[in-house]
Amino acid sequence: MKNPIYKIAIGICFLLSITLANGQVKNAATETVTILGNCGMCKTTIETAGNKNKVAEVVWNKDTKMATLTFDSSKTNQSEILKRIALAGYDSESFLAPEAAYAKLPGCCQYDRTFKVAAAKEMKMDMKMEMKQGHDMPMKKSDTAEANQEQGLSPVFDTYFLLTETLVKSDSKKAATLAADLLTALNAVKMEALPMKEHMVWMKVVKNLKEDAEHISETQDIKHQRDHYATLSTRMYDLMKVSSTAVPVYYNNCPMYNKGEGAKWLSQNKSIQNPYYGAKMLSCGSTVDTIK
């Protein structure tokens, strides 16, 4: 049995950590949740995954399995923090870690997975949209704003497809404008509202997507635009693969681009229309995957 003095010391350290976190985070909100784990190594991983400089602080206790989340409520929320922790391999009351992330944990960190999570918030949002779409009733102004927030990645994909069509036409001026629109759409995505699969990929690709969109928007050099469009398309494909699409999306490859190394792009058109060469080699390429 552990010495009572030891337990008191642990408690004091825990409270001190919370106090320090509250002092560093503005607009601080504090919530307590259960996150599964085993050891000190788990503590380091959980806290590192959840922490975000001056935005979120996580303090996890390996004995109680309780985590105190202190966060700037104007910039993030509990769901966003717990999704990051789940992506690192740790189950919480709200989100289960992906099997692959759990499997990568060291043996001493592979805790008993006792939680069974129903994504109630996401299910509620989906049901709400289905109910609105299933009735011939005009949507209120407040409903329209809510629907815009809930359309998730659709504005991102729609703008990407417009950019593709513009590069097919070799219109560098319009491509720059559309890339700026794409950057706006990327910045408007509510990450905490994305389904878990989309959220996991989003966290991996969003920084590079924004960088590519910014590069394309800042130049009218069509070659430079197409170079960044190539890497943009690869990451957009990763995101599209885990999203639902209303129509088939074709993942095409141009074998000639980049000195024969090739480059890919996404299109809603079944026929090949090459954005890397435009009219010079409009039909050059082939479909390597179809997303349905």
Q: How many CA atoms lie within 13 A of 141 on its CB side?
A: 0
Give dist(CA 48, CA 42) in Å, integer: 10
- Segment 2-11 shows an average pLDDT of 53
Return the closest-CA partner of residue 254 out of 220, 271, 230: 230
- Segment 175-199 shows an average pLDDT of 92
The pLDDT tens digits of the residues spanning 88-133 come to 999 998 888 888 889 899 999 999 998 875 443 333 343 344 334 4
Q: What is the pLDDT of residue 192?
A: 80
Look up residue 260 and give its two tokens.
Answer: 């024969």
Give dist(CA 51, CA 227) in Å, integer: 34
pLDDT(43) > 50 = yes
Look up residue 2 and give its two tokens.
Answer: 């552990």
Q: What is the pLDDT of residue 147?
A: 37
pLDDT(280) > 80 = yes
pLDDT(15) > 80 = no
Q: What's the pLDDT band for 140 if we cut at 50, 70, 90?
A: very low
The pLDDT tens digits of the residues spanning 218-233 come to 999 999 999 999 999 9
pTM score: 0.58
- Position with higher pLDDT, 128 vs 237: 237
Q: What is the pLDDT of residue 117?
A: 55
pLDDT(292) > 60 = yes
N-terminal to C-terminal alpha carbon distance within the chain = 58
- What percentage of the chain carries pLDDT values higher than 70? 80
DSSP state of 66: E
The average confidence (pLDDT) of the chain is: 83
Q: What is the pLDDT of residue 74?
A: 86
Q: What is the pLDDT of residue 21?
A: 46
Catalogue all structural domains in the chain, each as residue range(s) with its CATH number. 4-117 (3.30.70.100), 151-291 (1.20.120)
Residue 177 contacts residue 163 (beta carbons within 8 Å) = no
Q: What's the pLDDT band for 25 if we cut at 50, 70, 90?
A: low
